[in-house]
């Protein structure tokens, strides 16, 4: 009885909120208790916006370079600054925020209240921005380089020259910064302990590279396994991130976009583009058996598992709805009207 009481107290003390990017409206919808509680507007071009939580705030970066700070207790927009003209991503590093820009060719470091602390001019579009302790690591798409910078004194710790042909995205796995290249079928690995660098054939099977590396943000990663949506193929690939050995693939009914792992590690979720864009697939992660594929919306742009893994929230774009789906039976439990929904992000739980 006591554990149940503690669980209920925890749930009430830390209520779960779902933040949904309204793709065409420059806004974020706030969902709580199964209802649309608020819409926070004026966030810039949210066509490919990214939202992340830090302490009691949500930060949103728009495609046209605006970084916004939202108080998650009141859901009020506190501040908005323009850090670029075309912005690709951001991360948190040593109590600060680092933003990577396509245009201008800069990486901008800010305080939590969005005061600009440093602008690093790189001469390149910047991608794959990650933080590891005091280190800020990012790749220079047009210079074929990787930079590691100290977040506190802004000094360069390491520069990898000729890292590979056109880096375009990166993944942080333990102490390794793994970068993928647009113009070659390999990956670069920067060891953040000793700053050594090497290249590998990523996903090699029988001496042949069997797939092209897509954006790492589309991957599901759990422990030492990466679950990778195939580019232009109806399957997902499984790769060992320790050895970079290709393990196997799973046949799918459509062309996968996102592969995500439930927080408890039990399931993989997959959504699709093309003829199966209305469908969602649930896979047993341990056995890699497809459990269910179900039509759950009209163009499912994004989804997110709840922190306890019992539900998945999906954005049904053409229906203008966010749906709460039970796991593993994929039953629709709630439907909330949200205009042009895309990215789904969960606070609390």
CA 267 – CA 261 distance, rounded (Å) = 6
- Least confident among 35-49, 137-151, 190-204, 330-344: 190-204
CA 81 – CA 65 distance, rounded (Å) = 8
CA 41 – CA 49 distance, rounded (Å) = 13
pLDDT band at residue 205 using 50, 70 and 90 as cut-offs: low
123 and 184: one domain? yes
88 and 135: one domain? yes
- pLDDT tens-digit map of 278-336: 999 999 999 999 999 999 999 999 999 999 999 999 999 999 999 999 999 999 999 99
- The SS3 call for residue 214 is coil
129 and 228: one domain? no
242 and 169: one domain? no
155 and 238: one domain? no
pLDDT at 14: 40
- For residue 331 the two structure tokens come to 């039953």
Q: Mean pLDDT of all residues in the chain? A: 92
Whether 282 is covered by a domain: the verdict is yes
173 and 238: one domain? no
- For residue 183 the two structure tokens come to 């113009």
Last residue of a domain, one of 169, 200, 231: 200
Burial 84-102 (b: 16+ CB within 10 A, else e): beebbbbbbbeebbbbbbb
* Segments of 252-327 assigned E as strands: 255-261, 267-273, 279-284, 289-295, 300-305, 311-316, 321-326
DSSP element (H, E) containing 68: strand 66-71
347 and 218: one domain? yes
Instruction: Provide the residue range defining the domain that includes 266.
Output: 214-349
- For residue 344 the two structure tokens come to 């789904």
Q: What is the domain-level CATH number for residue 93?
A: 2.130.10.10
pLDDT band at residue 85 using 50, 70 and 90 as cut-offs: very high
pLDDT at 6: 44
Closest CA to 270 of 236, 299, 306: 236
Number of domains in the chain: 2
Whether 129 is covered by a domain: the verdict is yes
133 and 255: one domain? no
Q: What is the mean pLDDT of residues 12-21?
A: 73
Closest CA to 165 of 145, 181, 188: 181
- Spatial neighbors of 243 by CB under 8 A, at least 6 apart, are none
pLDDT at 184: 83
132 and 257: one domain? no
- pLDDT tens-digit map of 19-29: 999 999 999 99
Closest CA to 347 of 37, 136, 96, 90: 37
- pLDDT tens-digit map of 208-237: 555 566 588 889 999 999 999 988 899 999
Is the per-residue pLDDT at 207 higher than 70? no
pLDDT at 328: 97
* Segments of 141-284 assigned E as strands: 145-150, 156-160, 167-173, 176-181, 187-191, 197-200, 204-205, 208-209, 220-222, 225-229, 235-240, 246-251, 255-261, 267-273, 279-284
140 and 182: one domain? yes
Q: What is the mean pLDDT of residues 6-27?
A: 71
């Amino acid at each position: 009885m006591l554990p149940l009481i503690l669980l209920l107290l925890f749930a009430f003390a830390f209520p779960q909120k779902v933040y949904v990017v309204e793709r065409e409206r420059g806004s974020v919808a706030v969902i709580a208790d199964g209802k649309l509680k608020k819409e926070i507007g004026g966030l810039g071009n949210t066509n490919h916006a990214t939202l992340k939580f830090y302490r009691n705030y949500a930060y949103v970066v728009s495609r046209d370079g605006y970084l916004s700070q939202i108080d998650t207790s009141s859901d009020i927009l506190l501040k908005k600054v323009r850090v670029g003209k075309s912005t690709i991503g951001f991360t948190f590093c040593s109590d600060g925020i680092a933003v990577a820009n396509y245009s201008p060719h800069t990486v901008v470091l800010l305080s939590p209240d969005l005061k600009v602390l440093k602008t690093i001019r790189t001469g390149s579009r910047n991608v794959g921005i990650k933080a590891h302790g005091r280190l800020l690591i990012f790749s220079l798409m047009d210079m074929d380089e990787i930079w590691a910078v100290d977040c506190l004194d802004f000094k360069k710790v390491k520069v990898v020259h000729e890292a590979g042909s056109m880096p375009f995205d990166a993944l942080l796995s333990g102490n390794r910064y793994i970068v993928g290249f647009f113009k070659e079928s390999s990956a670069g690995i920067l060891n953040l302990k000793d700053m050594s660098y090497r290249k590998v054939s990523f996903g090699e099977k029988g001496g042949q590279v069997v797939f092209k590396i897509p954006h790492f943000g589309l991957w599901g990663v759990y422990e030492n396994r990466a679950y990778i949506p195939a580019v232009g193929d109806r399957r997902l690939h499984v790769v060992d991130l320790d050895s970079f050995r290709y393990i196997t693939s799973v046949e799918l009914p459509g062309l996968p976009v996102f592969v995500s792992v439930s927080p408890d590690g039990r399931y993989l979720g997959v959504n699709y583009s093309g003829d199966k864009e209305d469908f969602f697939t649930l896979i047993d992660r341990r056995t890699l058996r497809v459990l269910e594929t179900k039509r759950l919306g009209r163009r499912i742009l994004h989804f997110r598992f709840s922190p306890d893994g019992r539900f998945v929230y999906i954005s049904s774009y053409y229906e203008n709805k966010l749906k709460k789906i039970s796991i593993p039976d994929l039953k629709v439990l709630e439907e909330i009207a949200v205009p042009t929904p895309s990215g789904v992000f969960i606070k609390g739980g």
